[in-house]
Structure 1
Amino acid sequence: MSRRYDCSDAVERSRGIGEAASAVRRGELVVLPTDTVYGVGADAFTPSAVQALLDAKGRGRDMPPPVLVGSVRAASALVEDLGTYGQDLIDEFWPGALTIVCRANQNLLWDLGETKGTVAVRMPMHELAIELLKETGPLAVSSANLSGSPAARTAAEAEEMLGETVAVYLDGGASGEGEASTIVDLTGVVPRLLRRGAIPEHKIRAVVGVLLDTDDEAGDEPDEPVDLTKADPAPEPAAPVGLGKPAAATDATDHDPATPAEPASGTTADEPAAAPPRPERPGDAG
């Protein structure tokens, strides 16, 4: 049976975060507020939990969820390469409504869906979300709504759509902007805007200079994201690595948020032969 916690009350907030963290460790789903819209999250490193998230929303593995992190350090552990402008964008817009799509760390054991070796990552500017993320570590998070429906701006709206598929609802009041995060693909030589959102395009251009647009011809892009799951002729690992293809990004906790965070932003899956330590769990901050 699901439970909603009123996080405007200090005691309820503390209890709710504790219960949400426990639910995540059990592989269950939780709903949390962010600076854009409400998101539904699952442990990014528990494949069955990620699948439960996709099932709850009614979406397929071809639309992997993005990953929310509680610190820049946690994000760094998830990606192989930030590209030329990744760090500059992080310094300028994180925490905040910017989702970046990068090549995923190939040494991580996870399965976010059909990601082609990339991962969409965002650090939200929301105290409650960050508090939970520092307890749980990276969460696969998508907007808290049924696929195709308007994104939830309150815990009540999220509960109306997702019901008992979610174990814990953290009610932090109405979400901030109510507008999806801006998504930028950093897997090519030149950054590409995948989705317009809360951060205006001109502000992104001010940091990166040249920015390909979603309307630009495919031939204009210097580099097509590499499908890391096919790059190595060696036997395929048990699971893929990374996030969904930039085009699928619509989710990251934003209108189908992260989107691509429904970051569609997608996120991914991976896995090496040996299981390395999981990046940032409680106590990892940074």
Structure 2
Amino acid sequence: MAEIVPADKALDRALALLGAGEVVAIPTETVYGLAGDATSGGAVARIYEAKGRPRFNPLIAHVCDLAMAERIGVFDPLSRRLAELFWPGPLTLVVPLKADAGIHPLATAGLDTIALRMPRGFGGKLIAALGRPLAAPSANTSGHISSTSAGAVAADLGSRIKLVVDGGATPVGVESTIVKVHDGKLKLLRPGGVAAEEIEAAIGLKLERGAKGIQAPGMMASHYAPNAAMRLRAVSVDQGEALLAFGATRAKGAENAAAVRNLSPSGDLREAATNLFSFMLELDRAGASVIAVEPIPMEGLGEAINDRLARAAAPRDMEAAGE
């Protein structure tokens, strides 16, 4: 089983494993990531193997500063402005990949672009100490609920990796927002930890929706799924269903639910995002065959929450769109 080491004592151990081509589960501000050297084919292959992740699904390369990012990708002025405003933080930028970037082709899944992010905290320190970018998708079996605690990582991947770095519960709770600049326009590829409205206010441009195909991680139609089926926008709860609630008003029949978790009794979307994956996991472990989910507003971080719920509820054999 994986060794679980507190973040303030784990740097040297993590560096040794990464230097040997191994993978390490690390905390970030979004969710826990399964990190490996993005320049090493062996390390990237171990990420795919440990997660059981389809190899047509690209990986985000995590960097420690803008200088490292610009050695990997080509930044137009708008992408650079976004990096200056939101890095480090839960924003991923998709930019053209430089020919001499050194990123192993497995990490890009054959695309001529690269998804880049600069994490806060332990991840940033680890990348700076290693001196190379880390590929780091969410630290969970592919398609399953993302992990927001070291314990959740260990329960899922503990038999397949050697180290989980324990940084406590992740503060954001959903994966990064992914944005791509194309022809001077901003395209939202995946809603996430930075609300679209916040980006639009900072840049003065509207984000275009409706991206098709796999242009970045996190775009598969079925993803983040529990074992239980998910029933969205539920206004009533059937006998034996678990309930993922939101706000102060309950769905009809909530008193009959097999288990209840409220993402935010006060209706705070930031609190709801933080609790989303851990509460989904708790309800899944309660044993109900169906999790009913109360309606959640689409504004702000609600867009990211609803995106994850829709992917969790999608038919499990869907591979049409691509994390």
- When the two structures are superposed, what TM-score results if normalisation uses the length of structure 2? 0.64
Q: Structure 1 residue aligned with 2:40, among 30, 36, 46? A: 46
CA distance in 2, matches of 1:31, 1:53: 10
Q: Secondary structure at the match of 1:119?
A: strand
Q: Is 1:89 matched up with 2:58?
A: no
Change (3 A) 1:187 1:106: farther
The sequence identity of aligned pairs, in percent, is 30
CA distance in 1, matches of 2:44, 2:144: 20
Q: Which residue of 2 aligns with 1:230?
A: none
- Stretches of 4+ aligned residues off by more than 6 angstroms: 254-257
Q: Structure 2 residue aligned with 1:34, among 16, 23, 28? A: 28
- Amino acid of the structure 2 residue aligned with 1:65: L
Q: Which residue of 1 aligns with 2:317?
A: none
Whose radius of gyration is greater, 1 or 2? 2
CA shift, 1:159, in A, is 1.1
Change (3 A) 1:120 1:50: same
Deviations 1:147-169 (A, max 9, x none): 11111011110111112322211
Q: Is the 8 A contact 2:30 2:170 kept in 1?
A: yes
Q: Is the 8 A contact 1:29 1:165 kept in 2?
A: no
Q: Structure 2 residue aligned with 1:118, among 113, 122, 130? A: 113
- Amino acid of the structure 2 residue aligned with 1:4: I
Q: Is 1:213 matched up with 2:208?
A: yes
Q: Which residue of 2 aligns with 1:57?
A: 51
Structure 2: 5+ residue stretches without partners:
226-276, 278-310, 312-320
Q: Is 1:182 matched up with 2:177?
A: yes
Q: Structure 2 residue aligned with 1:101, among 69, 94, 99? A: 94
Worse overlay, 16-25 or 110-119: 110-119
CA RMSD across the alignment: 2.7
- When the two structures are superposed, what TM-score results if normalisation uses the length of structure 1? 0.72
Structure 1: 5+ residue stretches without partners:
8-12, 219-243, 267-286
Q: Which residue of 2 aligns with 1:221?
A: none
How many pairs does the alignment contain? 225
Q: Is 1:149 matched up with 2:164?
A: no
Q: Is 1:170 matched up with 2:165?
A: yes
Q: Secondary structure at the match of 1:20?
A: helix
Change (3 A) 1:86 1:215: same
Q: Is the 8 A contact 1:44 1:139 kept in 2?
A: yes
